[in-house]
Amino acid sequence: MQIINNKIEGSAYVIGPYKNPVANVKSGEIFQIQTLDAFGNKVDSSTSDITKLIQMPFVNPLVGPIYIEGAQKGDSLAVTIISIETSRDYGVSAIIPEFGGLCATPLTRTLNEPLPPKVMIHPIKDNSITFSTDLNIPPIPYEPFYGTIGTSPELEAISSLSPGSHGGNMDAADVCPGNTIILPVNVDGGFLYIGDGHAAQGDAEICGVATEIPTTGTLKVDLVKQLSLTNPRVESDEFIMTIGSARPMEDAARIAFYELIMWLESDYGIEKLVAYQLCSQVARVRLANMVDTLYSVVAKFPKKYLPNKI
């Protein structure tokens, strides 16, 4: 099995067409990636302020681009995540003074003083995360996923911190083992990038940082010819899902629901205004992140209410 090993020196900090591929993968091939955590594995219990450790824009290092053989503009990649294991016995979380959902940031600027910095180390053992040994908080289950997964735009190179129609830093917990993420292809080879392993994360990732881990991930990419997507899709056993990333948050939700309704119409024959009304009765929503440059919202349709595919 091919193993794509990320190191700091080969990491990608933008998702774009300008970096040489780090590996070639065939449609259907199972392969492994080794990812650094969002802070380049630099944080340990001695770190007090993460902003002093990282040097923008060199944060959230990704594995990639991975060249998918045969992929061409107008196709899609169906990335199935088989497993995600952590290669460290702790996760890292933090308060970063001008980053997060409940503080002033460079995008939502105010004159208030920034929050104080703070780092927390969360031990991980036997699929269980210890939030704090001081506080009496029961253990949190290890439920890993990739915060960042995306394919290159045709001309743009987008920060690894940004989500968008190309996928990217969506911080959607549905990008997890057992699920398949479907992404648009805009350049030859698709140029897939992955990173930002999370051992656990709440909806919204409210403080801006999950339980950040380096990982070994096992994946498979299936090339879907001539499926032209405008935004990412996800499939699980339980749901078909679409992800919208935008600001304000209602625009992210609008994109996600629009894509879901169009999918229900094109693949399941439910006329779009009926699908709109049906979603109003049974859809589910995950607020994936409200901390990144764009917010990400997942619209979910329960498979149990799907009619047969047309």
Q: How far apart are CA 305 and CA 284, in angstroms?
A: 12
Binding to a second copy by CB under 8 A, coded x per residue (else -) over 122-141, reads x------x-xx--xxxx-x-
150 binding a second copy? (CB under 8 A): no
Residues of 194-229 as b/e, b for ≥16 C-beta within 10 angstroms?
A: bbbbbbbbeebbebbbbbbbbbbbbbbbebbeeeeb
Residue from 10, 21, 70, 114 binding a second copy (CB under 8 A): 114
Q: How far apart are CA 222 and CA 30, in angstroms?
A: 10
197 binding a second copy? (CB under 8 A): no
Q: How far apart are CA 213 and CA 84, in angstroms?
A: 10
**Secondary structure element (H or E) that encloses residue 257, with its range:** helix 249-268
As measured in angstroms, the least distance from the Cβ of 193 to a second copy is 13
197 token code pair: 């392993």
Residue from 100, 144, 163, 168 binding a second copy (CB under 8 A): 100
Q: How far apart are CA 10 and CA 37, in angstroms?
A: 14
Residue from 20, 52, 308, 309 binding a second copy (CB under 8 A): 308
Residue from 35, 159, 179, 215 binding a second copy (CB under 8 A): 159
188 binding a second copy? (CB under 8 A): no
As measured in angstroms, the least distance from the Cβ of 180 to a second copy is 22
Cβ proximity to a second copy: between 224 and 249 the closer is 249
Name the one range near a second copy by CB under 8 A: 44-52, 60-68, 70-78, 153-161.
153-161
310 binding a second copy? (CB under 8 A): no
Task: Determine how β-strand 30-35 pairs with β-strand 2-5.
Answer: parallel
185 binding a second copy? (CB under 8 A): no
Q: How far apart are CA 238 and CA 226, in angstroms?
A: 26
CB-CB neighbours of 273 under 10 Å: 10
Residue from 42, 88, 118, 220 binding a second copy (CB under 8 A): 118
13 binding a second copy? (CB under 8 A): yes
Cβ proximity to a second copy: between 31 and 301 the closer is 301
Residue from 45, 108, 228, 266 binding a second copy (CB under 8 A): 108
Q: How far apart are CA 165 and CA 185, in angstroms?
A: 11
121 binding a second copy? (CB under 8 A): no
Site for a second copy in 243-302 (CB under 8 A): 244, 246-251, 253-255, 257-258, 261, 270, 272-274, 276-287, 290, 295, 297, 299
CB-CB neighbours of 80 under 10 Å: 18
Cβ proximity to a second copy: between 104 and 224 the closer is 104
Whether the Cβ atoms of residue 238 and residue 302 lie closer than 8 Å to each other: yes
